[in-house]
Structure formats: C-alpha cells, structure tokens
Structure 1
Amino acid sequence: MTYMKETVATIHIYHTNDIHSHFENWPQIRRFLKQRKEQAEEAGEACFIFDIGDHVDRSHPFTEGTDGKGNVKLLNEVGYDAVTIGNNEGITMSKQTLETLYEDALFDVLICNLKELNGEQPVWAKSSEIFETTDGVRVGVIGATAPYYAFYRQLGWKVTEPRKEIREQLVRIRQQADLVVCLSHLGINEDRLLAAEYPALDIILGGHTHHLLKDGEWIEDTLLGAAEKFGHYIGHIRVEIDRMTNQVVHMEAGVFPTNTMEQTAEDVEQVNAYLSEGEEALQVPVFYNPSPLAQKLTADSPLSSFFGRALLAYTHAECALFNAGIFLGSLDEGWVTRGDLHSLLPHPINPCIVHLDGSELLQVYEQSLDPKWTELEIKGLGFRGTFMGSMVHERLFRNQDGQLFAGNRAVEPGETYRLATLDMFTFGFFFPLLKDVPKEYIMPEMIRDVLGWYGKKYFNES
C-alpha cells in the first residue's frame, strides 16, 4: 500500500553503543547527531537519540578523573533522550559512584532489571518511559542490561533475569504505546531470542557483544539494530507511522561510519582536552616509591613481585597467579600518583580469591606454565593491554623435589587452598576449572587500587 507523505509521520531514531570512552570520534558524533536533530525538526519529523550502554570506560583518564560524570556531560551536550547502562557503568563503579553518576543527566536512564536489594527501582533510573512526538505518536522505550549476578550482588545491587523484566514492561506499556523500542545491553544472541519470544517489540537496539548490523536484522516483525563499538558507527532507524491509525507502515535500519565524517583541527584539540582534563584530575600523590620497579612481559620482574605481594596482603590468600601483561609500563622512582597507577593498570579488573582443592591448584599451576601465554593476544574481559605475557606466581612454587607449595603449605589433594588472581581468569576462557569453583570477588576495588593501597602501607611503615 502506498501512503501519501502528508498521511505519514516520520520518526528518526539514532543510536550509539559501546563507546567505551573512545572519544577520538566523539566530536564527529556530536556534530552529526545535532545536525540530524535540527534537520528533523526543520522537516517536521521526530528524532530520538539513545545510547545502549558502556559509554563509560574507566580505562580513559577523562572517565576515571571525573568518575564518569564527564561522559554524562558529553551525552547532555548532544541531547540524548535516554540511555541504558552497560556492565562498565554497572559493575566497574562502586554503588555510591553509580548512584550519583547521572545526577546531572538531562536524559532518562532506563534499566528494568537492576534493583536495590529490597527490590525497589533505583531513584536515578526508570524501568521504561513513553515519549510522545508532536504528531501524537507514543514511543515506549525499555532498557535492560547484562545480568552479571555475582558482581552486582557483591556491589549491593540486585540484578534480575532481563527477559522476564522486559516482558513485564512490555505488557505494561504495549497498550499505551504505538511503537515499542528496547535498549538492550544483552548481546546479539539474547536480542534474537527476545525478538522471537516477544514479537510485540517493534525495535531492539543492541550492544554488549560489539556486533554491527549495517542494514539491521529482521526477526519476524521485529527490527534489530546495532552499531558495533568505540564510536566507529552511528546507528539509524527510520520509522514511518500512519497518522490516522498510528500504525507502523515502514521501518528500515542503517549505520553511518564516523571515519567518513569530516574531522577538523578543533575536533583534535577537543579530544586532547578530554585527555588533559582527566590527567590533571588524576595528579593526586598516592605513595613515594624509593626505587624503580621495572616490568617484563616474559618473566618475573621487580614490579610483578611488588604487585604479587600487594595482592596477597590485600586478600590474605596463600598464593597468587596473574599475567605479566597486565602492566603497561614500569614505576619510576619518586611520587606515584593516581594517574601513574591508572596508566600502569588501566584495566577495569577486580582481584578475586578462588578456593581450590590441592589437585585443582596443581592443575591450574601446570596450565599456567604453558609457553603459549607469552605472546597470546587478548581482547575484552576487562583487559586493556595487548599481550597476556607469561604467568607470574607469587608464593606458588615447586621445591627441589618437585613438590608444589602454596605459601608455606605443601599442595596435597583433599586440602583447600586460597589463590588470589584476576577476575578475568574466572570466566572460563583461559582456566576453565576456575569458572565453577567457589570464589570471592573483591569489589569495587580494581587491581590498581590494591597496588596503591600496598604502596602507601608498605612504604609508610618501612
């Protein structure tokens, strides 16, 4: 059926996801979105701008130095209408920091599956919202994030199964809305399941798995959109609504690559200004280091030994295991600032204590000796370096007779040992055994916080 232009209301939805504080493309994104919003208004068309989470990433000094509020300021400047949170907003920040992150936001924060421990909705967020265009079209928007149950619980939040919560919101707003959009920081597989299970969702805008849907993806009558990561793309959904019935008559999806957009000298200056602002905020002394601590990628080093002792002192574990590649530099003699620690360990990685039987600890130790680790490239899992590097053992060693020791105890089957390590080793990708054993995540402290704590304690007492 052909509709005359005057009988059709057009809605533009622009979306970003998984920016991860990659601000190198932000000036182009800001300029593009503001221009598109102005063009839509001039044409009498509606325009909404949404972010699907992980805009924040504490690996960037601007985000770290402003506790993420700098990111919120950038979203405000563009004129975003709503965002949902990703795991970087949700579990790399303390509960108090997340509670105040959006206090100056000029947009709605939508998240249906994150609650206070008593089950109440956080005061800074809504489960869903209905926006109305000047044509009277009602757009219902639901937000949901990936449920990292153990991490959220440790921080004092209750995260719930998202599909159930999305269904409840869908039932609540479907009769009130002409178009229903889900901001889903759940990943492509979950988005496809959502679309198949709940066809009443008109649009699902995705993130988390950094997938790109250049022309969208149809699952029956639901349109999926996603814009990859790091601001490489801006997603766009064009919706046409019959003005008489408020029924959707056409939808299409696309993306705009930011590398084809003009970049000016002022853009470069702005990106550098974000970095400078963050670095300046992080120039806070933490401890005085009396001698250089060098690092090595392929062997133990003075820096890895210092960090290993810090990890054991903080966790009270008997032994520790981590990779040499976590250090992105060395520590010079002199005052060590928050910025130095951030540059050295930018990863949003938490310490973790795993409880292992002696036979399990022996198995993990043997796996850690594999020479493949040294040049293994890693992406994701919180790691912000390039190479894994060799595995470093602190107080985990074999004696001359080949007996493995954890601290002062011989490692024997049937006995339990506490191993301090990095949370990324407990997800099953590198050491499958560590995925299902009992564990304690240390949160909200990052590994750089542990190093700073130990440096302050160790050198103040010595």
Structure 2
Amino acid sequence: MNETQDWTIEAILLHSNDIHSRLEHAAKIATVIAEHRRTYGSDRVLAVDIGDHMDRMRVETEGSDGLINIELLHIAGCEAATLGNNEGLTFEPRLLEAAYRDRVKFPVLVANMFRTSDHERPEWLSPSTVVRKGKLRIGIIGVTARYTDFYTLLGWDVTDPIDAVRMEAAELRPHVDVLVVLSHLGLPFDRRMAEQLEGIDLILGGHTHHLLEEPLVIGSTTICAAGKFGDWVGRVEIGWDEAASKPLFRAECVPTAAYEEHPDAVAAIAKYRELASERLGRVITRLEMPILSREDQESQLPNLLAAGIRRWTNADIGITNNGQLLSGLPLGDVTAGDLHAICPSPINPCRLKLLGTHIREALQQSLRDEYITMPIRGFGFRGNVLGTLAVDGMSVEAEYDRQGQLQLAAIYVDGDPLVDDREYSVGTLDMFTFGVGYLSLKQGSDIHYFLPEFIRDVLAEELQNPAAITAASHARFVIRGRAAT
C-alpha cells in the first residue's frame, strides 16, 4: 500500500460493525453513505456491515425482533452483511428466519454457519457474494465467531472460520479482482487469518470493538476496523495497480458525531418505537405490593431471580448478581416492556458444578465495595455495575472485623455447612462462565447452558408465583456488628 502515490479511485468501501442497536448512530451512518453516493455515484460506493448491528437491550429491536435494524441497513443501502453473535445467539432460528428470509434485500454472508439437522445453509444465508464497483469485481466472504456450546443448543453448526475462508477464497479468487472478508471474529483471529491465508486482500473486522484509525498490513493483507456503537464508519478507497495487477488501498475511520441523522432513518426509529411500545405493553402479572431491588445489598427482586434460576436449572443453589436488575418494580401491572427495561441483558441461565471453595471466594468478594461497584462491559451484560451477589438455597452469615470490613462467618447449603472440597450444582448466569466479575464462578465443570431463554423470561415466570415472591423477602444474608465510622 502506497499512501502518497496518486491513483484513480475505482471504488469506496464503507464498513460498519458492532452498532449494538445505537440506532441514532446507525441513522448518521446512513447519511455518511448517502453523501458518498451523491459524490462518487452508487456504482462506485459499496456499503457493508460486519455484525452485531442488533442488540436486544434497545426497545425497538426487542419489540420488532430485529426488524428495525434490517430497515436501517436498507435505508443505508447496505449491499452485504455478516451476522454477529448478537444476531446469531440472541435471536433463535425462527426469528432470524422471519427477519432475514422474507425481508432482507442484501446478501447475508456467513461461510461457517450451517443447520445442525442437515449441515446445509438456510436459503437466506450465503457464504459469499461478488459485487462490481467501477471496473472492479469485489468478492466478499463473511464469517462469525464460533460459540459452539451455545450455537449447538440453537440448532446451528458453526465451523472453524479460518478453514471456511480458506475454502471459499479458493473458489472466489480466480474470478475477482479484490477479495474482502467481513470478519466478526475479533482482532486476534483477523491477524491469524492474514498470517495463515494467502490471497485475502482486505479484512474488515469487528466483534472485539477494536478501532484501527490506521490499517494494519500483514503481508499482502490490509486489516481495518471501525470501533463500536457507530461512533465511526470505516472508509476504504480502492484503486488498481495495472503493472502489478493488484488492488491499492487507502483506509481511514470517519467519526460520525457531526453528521445529521438520515430523515428516513429517524422516521423508521419512531415507527418501530411506537410498535414496540404496543407489543411490549402486554401484562405479565399484577403486583399487590412493590418489589425492591438494590445493587449494593440484599433485596427481594434479585433474590427472586436467584430462586428462579435455581428452579429453572434444577440446581442445588442459585446465584446471580444484583447488577442484572436496573430497578425494582412498583405496585400494579407489570408488562413485558417493564421487564425489558429493568433487565435488558441478553443473558441465559446455566447450570454447572462448583467446588465449595469457589463459591466461598465469590461470596467473600461480593461483600466488598470494589466488586459491588465494578463497571462491567460486554459479555451480554447491559447493566451498569456488577453488584453484590443474590443467592437461593443458601444462607450466609457475615460480620464486621475491627477495621470495619465485612468478613464471611458461616455459609450453609440447605442447612448444612458449606464444604470447600465438595462439588455443588449451581444455577447461575452464562456471563460468569466467560470469566467476568466474580472470577471463581468460572471454575465450574459440567456446564449446561439454557437457550433460548433469557433471565428476564425466568423472572417473568417467578413474578406470576405469589409464594415465590413471598419467599424472596426472606433474608439469605445475616450481617452482624457495625461498619467502621
């Protein structure tokens, strides 16, 4: 790549990734793309998305099963996209089918994703496509991150992405001038792909939210990425070196803050917000009294969630973190929208076996302010801070030491003292198995994930059980003494 040499721009490739339903930013990206098409012509501008455009934390996405995101991509004139884990894992196959098969107007590219039942791709999914821009034939391959344990439960077989790119590139390379990979794999995988595979001209990356204001060049492969949330849009100018018979690139990331939101996108967001409000207005239950939730201490609603996860997973113990719940619930009707508002995280229940010592370590940490107030980003978590732990099937005694710090005094499981070297069956959150927050909870074995249910589905069931609500008001933690003053 020669940044200083003048050459004719044959095509401009604009790429977005990891929007995570920041819909207003997607509306600004639509304006960026529209301005480029007015300036350079649609025949020379190519717009693509690299996955995780959808995020069910946003009410318009939740209430439309992702259709608002599809519409915004259409308004932007997207010509190819791959799926991220937020599409593939938080929407079960029937919802993906409904969103992509009948409505999508651009190729959806995932070369390493198949139905488990017959190892075939559904008709709406393709491994690659070829687009002509200017005088260039541009081949595009899509791949997504391989969360095997989760995808298998949803009926998907997601294969090794680098092997998939190798096979697809071998087919495409003789027929295209430029070979591009839309990679929802993360920067370490993108580096490995560039090092191991020949013939890939350009890798456009996502998943790990990395921003490459200057592209990486490894061998003959250029790697680009545009951060997260639509704060930036990637821009790659493509030329052609006649003498060497190879493409030329100039790449940058363009900040979107100063751009206006595309008016068609603004109208679409408003339309789907209204539709979502109607759809999520269905009443789940009616509460005879408020149910409180606090991040920093034991409270009724997190206890209810811990008990629900224990029952849902058929475990001896239930453990969740209070930070999953953004507020309590008032007296009166509770709607699906209310539950989404207080528990927006697309997190699934899971069951695992944990040694008593690992449970003890997490409970001790949950008494410390640095854990309670720890900010968490990603891993499906859409709250603010980690929060203390809520438990069910256990009772915990703690007391203040002379320095005013809380220390565990005793832990009981079903009335018997916790045994450090004994394994317990624990119902908890998939988030903890990724090694985030209370790290000892990652030490479990025999992990079983429960999909497609989210923890708000568990909470909805518990809220319809008056006996469970009453039981959740019973204290699991007994605190003795006083904090230092």
Same fold (TM over 0.5): yes
Distance 1:169 1:282 in 2: 42
Letter in 2 for 1:53: G
What's the counterpart of residue 189 of structure 1? 188
How do 1:310-349 residues align onto structure 2 when only pairs under 5 Å count? 310-349=308-347
Is 2:418 aligned against 1:420?
Answer: no
Residues 273 and 100 of structure 1: CA distance in aligned 2, closer, same or farther (over 3 Å): closer
* CA apart distance, 1:363: 4.0
Letter in 2 for 1:187: G
- Name structure 2 gaps, 5 residues minimum: 399-407, 471-485
Does structure 1 retain, via aligned residues, the 8 Å contact 2:143–2:165?
yes
Residue by residue over 1:342-365, the C-alpha shift from the partner in whole angstroms, topping out at 9 and shown as x without a partner, is 001001111111112344434444
Residue by residue over 1:266-312, the C-alpha shift from the partner in whole angstroms, topping out at 9 and shown as x without a partner, is 98776555544423321111111221011112111121222222222
Letter in 1 for 2:426: L
Distance 2:244 2:78 in 1: 24
How do 1:11-410 residues align onto structure 2 when only pairs under 5 Å count? 11-41=11-41, 46-103=44-101, 104-117=103-116, 118-133=118-133, 135=135, 137-241=136-240, 247-262=245-260, 271=269, 274-398=272-396, 404-410=411-417
Distance 1:306 1:433 in 2: 23
Comparing 371-380 with 157-166, greater Cα deviation is found at 371-380
Distance 1:460 1:298 in 2: 22
Residues 302 and 403 of structure 1: CA distance in aligned 2, closer, same or farther (over 3 Å): closer
Letter in 1 for 2:354: L
Aligned residues: 456
Distance 2:304 2:146 in 1: 34
Distance 2:228 2:5 in 1: 36
Distance 1:224 1:11 in 2: 17
Percent same amino acid among aligned pairs? 33
* CA apart distance, 1:366: 3.7
What RMSD, in angstroms, separates the aligned Cα atoms of the two structures?
2.7
* CA apart distance, 1:77: 1.8
Does structure 1 retain, via aligned residues, the 8 Å contact 2:463–2:469?
no
Report the TM-score when normalising by structure 1: 0.91
* CA apart distance, 1:370: 3.8
Match of 2:214, SS state, is strand
Comparing 104-113 with 267-276, greater Cα deviation is found at 267-276
Does structure 1 retain, via aligned residues, the 8 Å contact 2:10–2:133?
no
* CA apart distance, 1:388: 1.2
* CA apart distance, 1:435: 3.2
Report the TM-score when normalising by structure 2: 0.87
Distance 2:247 2:302 in 1: 61
Distance 1:325 1:358 in 2: 23
Is 2:447 aligned against 1:449?
Answer: no
- Name structure 1 gaps, 5 residues minimum: none
Does structure 2 retain, via aligned residues, the 8 Å contact 1:215–1:252?
no
Does structure 2 retain, via aligned residues, the 8 Å contact 1:373–1:391?
no
Distance 1:332 1:3 in 2: 65
* CA apart distance, 1:57: 0.1
Distance 1:414 1:30 in 2: 57
Letter in 1 for 2:231: H
Residue by residue over 1:439-458, the C-alpha shift from the partner in whole angstroms, topping out at 9 and shown as x without a partner, is 11111111111111222344
What's the counterpart of residue 476 of structure 2? none
Match of 2:39, SS state, is helix
Match of 2:208, SS state, is coil
* CA apart distance, 1:145: 0.8
Distance 1:38 1:425 in 2: 48
